[in-house]
């Protein structure tokens, strides 16, 4: 890849829509605070280049979640992540996490959400929070509490809800009642669908009214689903490295993002988990340009797709799009 292109990728304004807080902790901070070796950090926080499946990948969240149980650790996680993103020239990010996972130290879900919002506001980078409800057993009450908190803090730091977790085990279709409540309360949402589970998961998410899908790359398996996504103007939050790790596809070359993009699907590029996947947006862009037919111009277009799909106002979108369009290769 040309040095000019590499330099442009490094400095270009970037947008991140699909980023998990607990999968993106600052490695140096954790290593120093808990006196961990590089090998221990890798074993606890970084997934293998090829996991057995999504559930194997998700085990790397256990340690980060176990330490994110106090206001101080939550504040540090948010602050350090946003500082990293700022250095990477990210101009807007939506950070997602599940408040119900951070109450073991005595905090309430409400206190967790307040802490994260207060921490994000201390860093000079445009950001919002997506609250995750979780697939699982016996957690309906916790999920409903999260939904009500999303409504309480909507447009006050929280921008949307998400459904996350073991998609193949806890099917998307079983959350129909919950998403009816979410829609009735006018809370924006995205849904992890079409990652570990297939076409039916995507169909359910579309039926629920989702305008964004977390991953969604299994849509490539059904032309009718692709057309449905296009007809409904749904945006896919694609995370290439993560998809390779969880065996959704074998390589960047075989990843469906370029086929979906060139077929007219609104695709975006995201990291999913910067630490667990050992990646950055810069790395994602480089890997795609080197191994697919995507060009830097396509990457720019996908950043604009991200802005148009973001859970923000039209005036905010207009301002961000101008930043992306005003920065061009000639400045390098």
Show which residues are catalytic. 195
- Residue 111 makes CB contacts below 8 A (sequence gap 6+) with 71
Q: What is the dihedral of CA 285, 53, 167, 120, to 10 degrees?
A: -50
Q: Give the span between the Cα atoms of 307 and 302, in whole angstroms.
A: 9
- Residue 249 makes CB contacts below 8 A (sequence gap 6+) with 217, 243, 255, 256
Kindly report the backbone phi and psi dihedral angles of residue 130, in degrees, each rounded to the nearest multiple of 5, phi listed first: -110, 125
* Residue linked to tokens 């299994």: 218
* Residue linked to tokens 């950090």: 41
Task: For residue 159, give the nearest of 127, 116, 134, 204 by alpha carbon.
Answer: 127
| Structure-block tokens of residue 129 | 């929070």
Query: What is the gyration radius of the CA atoms in the chain, in angstroms?
Result: 19
């Amino acid at each position: 890849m040309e040095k000019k292109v590499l330099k442009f990728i490094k400095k270009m304004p970037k947008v991140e829509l699909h980023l998990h807080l607990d999968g993106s902790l600052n490695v140096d901070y954790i290593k120093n605070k808990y006196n961990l070796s590089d090998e221990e950090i890798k074993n606890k926080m970084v997934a293998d280049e090829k996991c057995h499946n999504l559930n194997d990948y998700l085990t790397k969240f256990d340690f980060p979640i176990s330490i994110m149980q106090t206001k101080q650790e939550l504040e540090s996680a948010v602050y350090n992540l946003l500082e990293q993103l700022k250095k990477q020239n990210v101009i807007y990010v939506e950070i997602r996490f599940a408040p119900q996972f951070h109450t073991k130290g005595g905090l309430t879900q409400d206190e967790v959400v307040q802490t994260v919002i207060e921490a994000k506001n201390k860093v000079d980078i445009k950001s919002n929070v997506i609250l995750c409800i979780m697939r699982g057993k016996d957690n309906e009450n916790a999920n409903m509490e999260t939904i009500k908190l999303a409504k309480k803090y909507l447009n006050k730091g929280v921008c949307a809800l998400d459904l996350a977790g073991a998609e193949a085990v806890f099917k998307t279709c079983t959350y129909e009642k919950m998403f009816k409540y979410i829609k009735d309360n006018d809370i924006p949402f995205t849904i992890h669908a079409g990652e570990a589970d297939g076409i039916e998961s995507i169909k359910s998410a579309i039926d629920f009214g989702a305008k964004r899908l977390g991953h969604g790359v299994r849509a490539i398996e059904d032309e009718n689903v692709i057309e449905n996504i296009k007809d409904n103007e749904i945006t896919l939050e694609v995370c290439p490295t993560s998809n390779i790790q969880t065996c959704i596809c074998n390589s960047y070359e075989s990843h469906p993002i370029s086929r979906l993009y060139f077929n007219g699907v609104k695709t975006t590029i995201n990291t999913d988990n910067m630490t667990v996947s050992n990646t950055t947006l810069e790395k994602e862009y480089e890997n795609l340009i080197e191994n697919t037919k995507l060009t830097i111009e396509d990457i720019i277009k996908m950043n604009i797709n991200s802005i148009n799909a973001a859970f923000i106002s039209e005036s905010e979108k207009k301002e961000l799009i101008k930043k992306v369009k005003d920065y061009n290769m000639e400045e390098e």
